Structure 1
């Protein structure tokens, strides 16, 4: 089966909300998708294209938010069908639970622990891919008594993937203007138990949780903004057990445009048993976020190298020597970068890709040199 072209209504919804408000865009897309592929519950997550970790915006409806830890623990610590990382690498990028388990859903840990207790009988998952990267994932479910998802419906969701991925990518590149002060530059620390439940935190962690999920971040029903926290904590335990490799980190763009870095590490008790998980949250550094912004603007590897050199204050002649290019080629690359980012000077370029993400005071649109110098 091949993916179907995205319906016009869904395409218009994605394009109309690009770079405006992520939560509103997902709500609009969910409404359009429900007309095309009826569902009883759904979860939409933007993802970090480098790590596939869920970030913001996020939307969860018709599912029990209290099972958030169960959901992400299963994603990172269990062998299962249709894990997001596997869908991101699959040719189709979408599948259903019944198809993946040969109509024996009990084979799936996620079905036994998450879906069946809520009365769901089938699930359709998809990865939203564009430009060689995954910018979001989707999970739709149907209740017992409803007809299973069809192959045609899978094709519809898969066909919509690039359009939705483009909208999520545009959100990452949209302008931001968060406040900047010393209080917001201080890291915060939170401690979680082996089940992913919050044990303790300091005042700064409380501030960062508020940035991610709003003032009700600690409500009995966790808001969608806490998804990034739950997933990073769950993956840290998987890394400690050897099921996952690398650090458990994520870069999250909060609703106010501020980029936040999350890093979780699971400890071990003296006897070797699993211990607590420590989560550190802080304002993301430019070196952490610039690559994802470059991906959002579809810069080529060479264009990124030229842009990084500009950020270091190099002239065209110096960039040409460093990268073994002609000065004319450097100018061409910069002209292309300016067009993609929508700026007209080096100062605007650096401010857009670096400074204005972390310290708006540094942004001085129009200052700096043009591409040809």
Structure 2
């Protein structure tokens, strides 16, 4: 490890939460890669969309944040984040990528040039092909050098691993970073908070919202937000999800308009959107639903956060249902000895010593209030578990 890389990561290793990870890393990185402003944001590892928290530095109140992500999702751009997530090197500088012709980028022409930005260095913080964070560094004078790009690329994996760890449930000594206080949420007959609904018109303006959506939004942490015609401030993560739905409808992207958000209380919400069809098949409004995350919404997140394999996740789901070793072995067509080996590995990864502690850690502390039957449920690697 180079001295610069070691210095950048030294503070990150002790960060108590994702927001502090961004703040400390940005401060230390600036000594080795000078920049004038920056945006650091967490990303949903399945869709790559922005999620909380987000750190915006030296960009005023973040007025251009919505336009930046609109350009990212709805315009053709150079080195978009979705490409960097799959690229051999997860970082790139705009001027280097365009042969010092940055105006080839719509983002540069429409936004950065007018803000006095000379170059942008961006990176995806990823583990494997899973993006856990996105970074944009802006420089007003001079271009980013190849060695600076290499340094940011070199810290991508370790920073992503730290972000992945923060997706785990928060214990008593590890409180979730809080923002605005939550409000009482009206529940359905099953005592689960009711889904919220927001409708966006063709121009991207929020045109209708129900009370449940307002209550869910009040539970989200602080971050860049924008006043809508409804008199409601919408977080950038919600706006980004709606923009992604429009990008999918326009054929610019084939990904999901879906993102998971952690509330100030440490619980998880899922925000998903789709573009409706208007008269004659014309594009209609975007409908965005925000609701408590279901088990299927969090299965991969849990597995990734603890480094579980697909098989370990399947066994954990069965253990949570109170199924014994012999029946688990029969269900998965493996030997009881193999089941016990997997459970021993699970205990080590999650830091527990009993099945009860395992269930409490994963399925009680902010994750899954109830477990569906995992038989026939698709696991993170795309396979299905079937009872035999």
Q: TM-score range by the shorter chain?
A: 0.7 to 0.9
Residue in structure 1 matching 2:363, options 348, 354, 364: 354
Residue in structure 2 matching 1:74, options 55, 71, 75: 71
Q: CA RMSD in A?
A: 2.8
Alignment of 1:213-228 (within 5 A): 213-214=221-222, 226-228=235-237
**Higher relative contact order structure (alpha carbons within 8 Å, sequence separation ≥ 6):** 1
Alpha-carbon distance in structure 2 between the residues aligned to 1:38 and 1:215: 24
Alignment of 1:125-144 (within 5 A): 125-143=122-140
Cα drift, residue 361 of structure 1? 12
Cα 1:70–1:218 change in 2 (3 A) is closer
Q: Is the 8 A contact 1:249 1:262 kept in 2?
A: yes
Alpha-carbon distance in structure 2 between the residues aligned to 1:313 and 1:269: 48
CA deviation profile, 1:282-327 (whole Å, cap 9, x unmatched): 1111221122111010011221121122123321111111222111
Alignment of 1:1-373 (within 5 A): 7-17=5-15, 20-63=16-59, 65-143=62-140, 146-175=141-170, 183=187, 185-214=193-222, 226-358=235-367
* SS state at 1:245 partner: coil
Cα drift, residue 12 of structure 1? 2.1
Alpha-carbon distance in structure 1 between the residues aligned to 2:23 and 2:10: 14
Q: Is the helix fraction higher in 1 or 2? A: 1
Cα 1:136–1:4 change in 2 (3 A) is farther
Structure 2 unaligned segments of length 5 or more: list them. 177-181, 372-388
Q: Is the 8 A contact 1:316 1:331 kept in 2?
A: yes
Alpha-carbon distance in structure 2 between the residues aligned to 1:292 and 1:250: 11
Cα 1:117–1:255 change in 2 (3 A) is farther
Cα drift, residue 114 of structure 1? 2.1
- What is the match of residue 366 of structure 1? none
Q: Is the 8 A contact 2:185 2:216 kept in 1?
A: no
Alpha-carbon distance in structure 2 between the residues aligned to 1:239 and 1:151: 34
* SS state at 1:252 partner: strand
Cα 1:75–1:218 change in 2 (3 A) is closer
* SS state at 2:322 partner: coil
Cα drift, residue 356 of structure 1? 2.1
Alpha-carbon distance in structure 1 between the residues aligned to 2:251 and 2:162: 35
Alpha-carbon distance in structure 2 between the residues aligned to 1:112 and 1:301: 44
Q: Is the 8 A contact 1:263 1:279 kept in 2?
A: yes
Q: Is the 8 A contact 2:91 2:124 kept in 1?
A: yes
* SS state at 2:41 partner: strand
CA deviation profile, 1:322-364 (whole Å, cap 9, x unmatched): 22211111111111111111122222222222232257899xx
Alpha-carbon distance in structure 2 between the residues aligned to 1:147 and 1:182: 54
Cα drift, residue 72 of structure 1? 1.9
TM-score, normalised relative to structure 1: 0.87
Alpha-carbon distance in structure 1 between the residues aligned to 2:284 and 2:123: 34
* SS state at 1:173 partner: coil
Q: Is the 8 A contact 2:226 2:234 kept in 1?
A: no
**Aligned residue-pair number:** 355
CA deviation profile, 1:61-83 (whole Å, cap 9, x unmatched): 22362223322222222222111
Q: Is the 8 A contact 2:303 2:310 kept in 1?
A: no
- What is the match of residue 365 of structure 1? none
Alpha-carbon distance in structure 1 between the residues aligned to 2:167 and 2:3: 25
